[in-house]
Amino acid sequence: MKKINLPKLPNKDGHFDEYGGMFVSETLMYPLKELLKAYTTIAKSAKFRQMLTKELTMYVGRPTPIYYASRISKELGSSHIYLKREDLNHTGAHKINNAMGQVLLAKAMKKTRIIAETGAGQHGVATATACAKYNIKCVVYMGEEDIERQKINVYRMKLLGAEVIPVTSGSKTLKDALNEALRDWVSNVDDTHYIIGSVAGPHPYPMIVRDFQSIIGHESKKQMMSVYKKKADILIACVGGGSNAIGLFHPFLNDDVEIVGVEAGGYGLSTGKHAAPLNKGKPGVLHGNRTYIMEDENGQIQSTHSISAGLDYPGVGPEHSWLKDNKRVQYVSVTDKEALKAFYYLTEKEGIIPALETAHALAYAFKIAKKRKNKNILINLSGRGDKDIDTITKMTQMTL
């Protein structure tokens, strides 16, 4: 077995070697340090963990199963395809793992108001859900363009009692929603906790979100052994900000397993219209951390394109940048078209409608399942695709 021994990061300043950090304006340094302190004391306590575990079991529906996709496995070749069913979580995606943890933490910190940014709306819905359950005020920032393409999730958030604020600045997508949420936080630091939905943003967010999402990987490791008596040979997940990916990958980083993150290739990497900073970007500073970003020759952040709102982001969590540079994880990309094909394939052959984000991971998995012999491929099925039905029907002009 290959011996891998990666250091435990981030360090105390929030750095993953040169990535990560706290690149924020002075006003936010205090709440970030306050959050770090609360996280390392409250969230690590046995009492907090018990409470969270109980909620994740009884309310969210964890552990989520690992499903062996026998029909497509057979059709694609000799490899075996396993799906970690995060789509079966309450609210339909992995985002709730983090939202539950952070809302509980905010409650313990005596915060009375929660803000969040959202792209596809899954993090917004998860946060609004946890806020409804724990009776805490919730405000969600969402780009105007994303509101248009993920309407169903906007309705859900409103039903759950959240205030959804459309963001009209810049590219009107996830990146601008994050800007607006940061501005809100600066203005309301005393009573407000900001729940970032991905492993992006300033320290300690990449660490906190990773830790709350790592339940995906921890469960997967156990379940592969206990249910299937097998070890995964290849792990695959889609990467926008990268929270579902790091959640699956992190507990496996020192194991003898291939790990692949799949970015959004949009219309193709050569067109420039994509959201693949790890493949085509370079290191820079955005939203409070140093990481791979998509920028022009003057250091201005470029607008991105992806069929999936959740991957449509010009940056990526700093830990992924570190894992790219040290070559522990391979980062590839899949185009809109390939993702769509995978979306249909899984739906038709296994009766599972995946989110368009997740379809990127599936597309790459199907590709390599055809090439590689006798491998156990574990894919994080990070979310269900109900929210994308509008996009799909519009695109295919399907009539009901």
Q: Which residues bind other proteins (CB under 8 A)?
A: 13, 21-31, 169-170, 175-176, 179, 182-183, 186-190, 283-288, 290, 293, 295, 297-301
Of 55, 117, 145, 295, which one is the catalytic site residue?
117
Who's near 70: CB < 8 A, 6+ residues apart? none
Taking the CA atoms of 324, 329, 334 and 340 in sequence, report the sign of the dihedral they define: negative
Shortest separation between residue 12's beta carbon and other proteins, angstroms: 11
Half-sphere exposure of 143 (CA within 13 A, CB side): 22
For other proteins, the closer of residues 240 and 288 by Cβ is 288
What b/e readout covers 287-298, taking b as 16+ CB neighbours within 10 angstroms?
A: bbbbbbbbbeee
For other proteins, the closer of residues 313 and 345 by Cβ is 313
For other proteins, the closer of residues 187 and 393 by Cβ is 187
List, in sequence order, every beta strand (DSSP E) within 77-195.
80-85, 113-118, 137-143, 163-167, 192-195
Active-site annotation holds for 117: yes
Shortest separation between residue 388's beta carbon and other proteins, angstroms: 27
For other proteins, the closer of residues 28 and 224 by Cβ is 28
Shortest separation between residue 182's beta carbon and other proteins, angstroms: 5
Of 95, 324, 375, 387, which one is the catalytic site residue?
95
Shortest separation between residue 302's beta carbon and other proteins, angstroms: 8
Neighbours of 63 (CB within 10 A): 18
Taking the CA atoms of 330, 307, 100 and 380 in sequence, report the sign of the dihedral they define: negative
**Tokens at 179, concatenated:** 């800007």
Determine the Cα–Cα distance for residues 36 and 214; give it in Å rounded to an integer.
Answer: 18
For other proteins, the closer of residues 103 and 301 by Cβ is 301
Say if CB 240 and CB 311 are below 8 A apart: yes
Shortest separation between residue 239's beta carbon and other proteins, angstroms: 20
Of 263, 321, 382, 387, which one is the catalytic site residue?
382
**Tokens at 202, concatenated:** 């300033």
Shortest separation between residue 289's beta carbon and other proteins, angstroms: 10
Q: SS3 for 329?
A: coil
Shortest separation between residue 176's beta carbon and other proteins, angstroms: 8
Q: Where does 214-335 have alpha helices with state H?
A: 215-228, 243-249, 277-280, 318-325
For other proteins, the closer of residues 30 and 344 by Cβ is 30
Shortest separation between residue 355's beta carbon and other proteins, angstroms: 26
Between helices 151-159 and 122-133, what is the axis angle to 10°?
A: 10
Biggest CA–CA distance in the chain, Å, is 57
Say if CB 291 and CB 319 are below 8 A apart: no
From 259, 389, 324, 234, select the one nearest 18 (Cα to Cα): 324
For other proteins, the closer of residues 182 and 356 by Cβ is 182
**Residue found under tokens 């363009």:** 145
For other proteins, the closer of residues 149 and 203 by Cβ is 203
Determine the Cα–Cα distance for residues 47 and 172; give it in Å rounded to an integer.
Answer: 41
Active-site annotation holds for 137: no
Return the active site residues.
95, 117, 382
